[in-house]
Amino acid sequence: MADYSWPEADRRALIGSRPARLDGPVKSTGFAKYPSDQNPSGLLAAKILTCPHAHARIVGIDTSAAEAMPGVRVVHVIQGEGSEIQWAGDEIAAVAAVTEEVARDAVRAIRVDYEVLPHFVTEEDRDGAPDARAAGERAEGDPDAAFATAHRTVERTLGMPQMAHMCLEPHGQVCSWDGDELEVHASTQAVSTLAGQFATELGVPASQVRIRTEYMGGGFGSKFSPDRWGIVGAELARKAGAPVKLFLERDQEVTVAGSRPSAFARIRAAADEQGRLVAWDSDSWGSGGLPGTGQTPLPYVFSRLPNRRTRHTSVPTNLAGSRAWRAPNHPQACFLTMAVLDDLADELGLDPIDFLERNLDLTGRADTYREQFAIAAEMASWKERWQPRGRTREGAVHRGLGVSVHTWGGRGHSSNCDVTVHPDGAVEARIGSQDIGTGTRTIVAQVLAETFGLELNQVRVSLGDNVYPQSGPSGGSSTVGGVTASTRRAAQDALREVLVHVAPRLEAEPEQLVAGGGRVFVDGDSSRGMSWREAAAQIGGAPISVQGRNPGPGRLISSGVGGVQIAEVEVDIETGVVHVERVIAVQDCGLIINRRLAESQVYGGLIMGVGYALYEEWIPDPVSGRLLNADMEFYKLAGLVDVGSLEVHMMTGPGYDERGVIGLGEPPVISPGAAISNAVANAIGVRVPYLPLTPDRVLDALAGRGGPA
Amino acid sequence: MTDDAKRSGLSRRSFLRGGAAGALSGGLAAGLLTGEAAGAAAATDAEAPDTVGPGPVEIELEVNGATRRLAVEPRVTLLDGLRDRLDVTGPKRVCDRGTCGACTVLEDGRPIYACSRLMIESAGRSITTVEGLGSPDAMHDVQQAFVENDAQQCGYCTPGFVVATAALLARHPAPSEQEIEAGLGGNLCRCGTYKGIRAVVEGAGGGGVSGG
């Protein structure tokens, strides 16, 4: 039975080091061709007509004027007469034309008559919702008795709205048919699974659908499916007999192509005189648009809290359905829980870190959190600088510190990888994965080069194409574990085959040989060896090709991580403006393949976190049912100067490395909302109950008004 | 007349005439979306009014050092003209409203949002996109610094940030916080690469990176 493992720490040349991402130069020079950059010969441009009403029935549709326009090649009705439309922005018809401008003209020329129906888009008003439905109730212990005898209890109503994924490259694709073979350049997180979904809808075998995604401009959980516009794009291309580019306009991207569900809750939590949590009661609700939402995992992290009752209500709205947003459900559950626990600590007169530490046995990873609290507190000089609420001020500007903890799984997904060693010494990996900006291409190359003892530039990695062996969609922090495990297994097997051929030449057993420093040699006697090129020449005329799979044997990956974050803010109590001064993140993720890319993931999570803590929200208009900010002027992302100083500490080395590779994309984005909200409460002395922490909400809280969500 | 005034309005007409002649002699840029080229109404008529369009207009401009001639409707933005007609796809269309900076290019050395400029306004001018600053084998210092500081993830905002950073550093080799805000506050990233971008800009004072 072959052994699959990572090299010991003193034998790692590349794993755990900081090489620059391999596709850095093509990206920073603009030479990288994204799906939206593909301009095949004869290309047509497509645009979609969307519904302006949040709820309506189509009474009539007339496309004749559009069809008669010069330059228009195909007009395709997506939802015709009699269709009931459930959200503004839903797709009604599409046009393929010789230019984008003509396609837009044609879309405007389509006449649709609607019967406008009543809509509901403001789910924070649960009582006003027409279709709110109970979505689960759980109880454990005796919460009523525990609250009755508790030392201190807090009760809060808190919430955070729906927000957008806001991928910079919009959703879309370029579709080209050659006979009944379809090629799709798709901006997707799921190269290997997309073909089957296109095939089913289009009535062609999946074997005739090619998906290509060499680069893509961000997904964050919203790009797993062909979507309706993908199928429509393929239909337009088939009807036109020409390639069709269809990417959403920005207003469509914001409105229909991805949002994170909202979460609101009325929560009571109680502790005893020792600062031990004894009771929890939460009544939560939220919406992910028309489908509503599932249960938010409360209480978060401190999930073994005794005497708890949780109720959840799903509130459907006339808004497009939500999608998985980086760490689904966790940022919401984290904010709702950590804000209440922070308020309870204040009620108890305890330092929040002290309070959380007293309750770590209610979490799944007490030792990790304890170690992380110590490191984070040290980085923040917490002991010297933290003060009880509202005591740190200079004139109108108040400063505060806040803390939060989070958890995530991150187990590697199903993945197959082909590794080939050529007789000339060339080594390559082919894998049907995708690099969504996380650095997948680079880490696969590191594993490959490490295994064969080569430099990074001596190996080749091909991905982003479904002709390569299937590898899972990039979601849930599952990619790094999946692709490194399948690559390592294939590479170790391929190397063993090479060593069998090399061993007789070195008068050794294959098991005695190792690869390193561009050579193959007898372990412990490097003089008995040969160059890698010479070693590869021993395999004969045909290359060695091996497939590695995940899951599989050997302890290469695992799951389950913890993280602690501390935020420091300044709040101007006259203007209500919050500025994040500093965010500290202490994070574990098992064995780190590339330190530089791992840190980038954490920085990115913190920056996205500052965005949703301070700026980002969908603002639906209750009157029209449309989003008031389906753009980038009024849907605010954090900018370069908004994010303060960011400091990251990765937990590595003994005790962490042995766990193998664990994903990292999700965890760092979970805590910022809670940590920043807690820092604001620490600064101004009151809880601002809703995210994002906009000036109006801060001023409402200071004035003693709960304020609108 | 100022230079700018000479380049706009009436004075462009004579330039457009020259451009059209070039197009007729076969120099028309191979439009990728070519539907309008055949119907191009060249503004060559001496009696032509002082307005152009709405049909395609022949123009000439310099893109990354090469002279490009094409017929383009006045309503087409510089960004869409570059991407759709000239296959210069470094500049990205993201917000399409002058907010995010992903389409930033240099026009006669000055950074502009290509989504907020009509292509015909750039007639006679010199456009430099991110591809014009350097190539993967011969990167501009700023491009190299983006790689070394991992100032990019998905990379879709990167072309705009690289051009804006190069322009900032050309003007202010060691920029102050206010200059950084003014120079890069008009660019947005979704993956969260600001830490690396800040390192690029702040490292510039150390002599590693030069602008323009």
User: What pLDDT, on the 0 to 100 scale, is given for residue B12?
Assistant: 39
How is A563-581 classified by DSSP, letter by letter?
EEEEEEEEEETTT--EEEE
**Contacts of residue A439 in chain B, CB cutoff 8 Å?**
153
DSSP secondary structure code for residue A271 in this structure: E
Cβ–Cβ under 8 Å, residues A170 and A257: yes
Taking CA–CA distances from A45, the nearest residue in chain B reads B33
pLDDT given at position A390: 79
CB pair distance less than 8 Å for B152 and A28: yes
- Domain A9-32+412-550 shares a fold with domain A35-118+171-247: no
Instruction: Please name the residues in contact with B58: beta carbons below 8 A apart, sequence gap of 6 or more.
Output: B16, B19, B20, B22, B23, B28, B40, B42, B43, B69, B70, B71
Top CATH class of A333-410+558-702 equals alpha beta
CA distance B32 to chain A (A): 7
Spatial CA neighbour of A363 closest among A338, A326, A327: A338
Across the interface, of A20, A217, A599, the residue whose CB is closest to B154 is A217
Taking only the tens place, the pLDDT of each residue in B163-190 is: 999 999 999 999 999 999 999 999 999 9
Continuous segment of H or E residues that includes residue A532: helix A532-537
Q: Which fold has domain A35-118+171-247?
A: Aldehyde Oxidoreductase; domain 3 (3.90.1170)
- List the 139-198 stretch of B: residues with Cβ below 8 A of A: 139-140, 143-144, 146-148, 150-159, 162, 177, 180-181, 184-185, 187-198
Contact flag A100-B156 (C-beta cutoff 8 Å): no
Per DSSP, helices labelled H in A100-183 are 100-109, 143-149
Chain B neighbors of A44, CB-CB under 8 A: 33
What is the rounded CA–CA span in Å between residue B136 and residue B131? 9
pLDDT tens for the 212 residues of chain B, in order = 344 433 443 333 333 333 333 333 333 333 344 344 434 444 444 555 578 888 999 999 999 999 999 999 999 999 999 999 999 999 999 999 999 999 999 999 999 999 999 999 999 999 999 999 999 999 999 999 999 999 999 999 999 999 999 999 999 999 999 999 999 999 999 999 999 999 999 986 554 455 44
Query: What confidence score (pLDDT) does residue A609 get?
Result: 98
CA of A105: which chain B residue's CA is closest? B75
Task: Please say whether the structural domain A9-32+412-550 has been given the CATH code 3.30.365.10.
Answer: yes
Can you tell me whether residue A406 is helix, strand or coil?
Answer: strand
CA dihedral sign, ordered A239, A244, A248, A249: negative
Chain A residue with Cα closest to B186: A639
Separation in Å, CA of A636 to nearest CA in chain B: 10
**Which CATH number applies to B3-132?**
3.10.20.30
Task: Count other C-beta atoms under 10 Å from residue B10's C-beta.
Answer: 10
The CA-based dihedral angle spanning residues A338, A343, A348, A350, taken in that order and rounded to the nearest 10 degrees: 60
Q: Please give the pLDDT value at position B44.
A: 47
Residue A512 CB neighbours (<10 A) = 16
Q: Is A696 on the interface with B (CB under 8 A)?
A: no
| Cβ–Cβ below 8 Å for A218 and B190 | yes
Q: Is A106 on the interface with B (CB under 8 A)?
A: no
Give the distance from residue A326's alpha carbon to the nearest chain B alpha carbon, in angstroms.
11
Give the residue among B200, B187, B14 at the shortest CA–CA distance from B112.
Answer: B187
Give the CATH number of domain B134-206.
Answer: 1.10.150.120
The pLDDT value recorded for residue B53 is 85
Identify the sign of the CA torsion B199, B203, B209, B212. positive
Pick from B95, B131, B197: CB nearest A31 = B131
Q: Which of B80, B94, B154 sits opposite A436 (nearest CB)?
A: B154
- Stretches where chain A sits below pLDDT 70 are 1, 707-709
ipTM: 0.97
Domain-by-domain residue ranges, chain B? 3-132, 134-206
SS (HEC) of A638-656: CCHHHCCEEEEEEECCCCC
* Sequence spans of domains, chain A: 9-32+412-550, 35-118+171-247, 333-410+558-702
Q: Touching check for A537 and chain B: CB below 8 Å?
A: no
Q: How far is B94 from chain A (nearest CA, A)?
A: 6
Per DSSP, the residues of A363-377 read SS-HHHHHHHHHHHH
Question: Number of CB pairs < 8 Å for A and B?
Answer: 203
Question: Do the Cβ atoms of B35 and A167 come within 8 Å?
Answer: no
Chain A contact present for B55, CB below 8 A:
no
Between CA A58 and CA A675 the distance in angstroms is 47
Residue B52: what pLDDT?
85
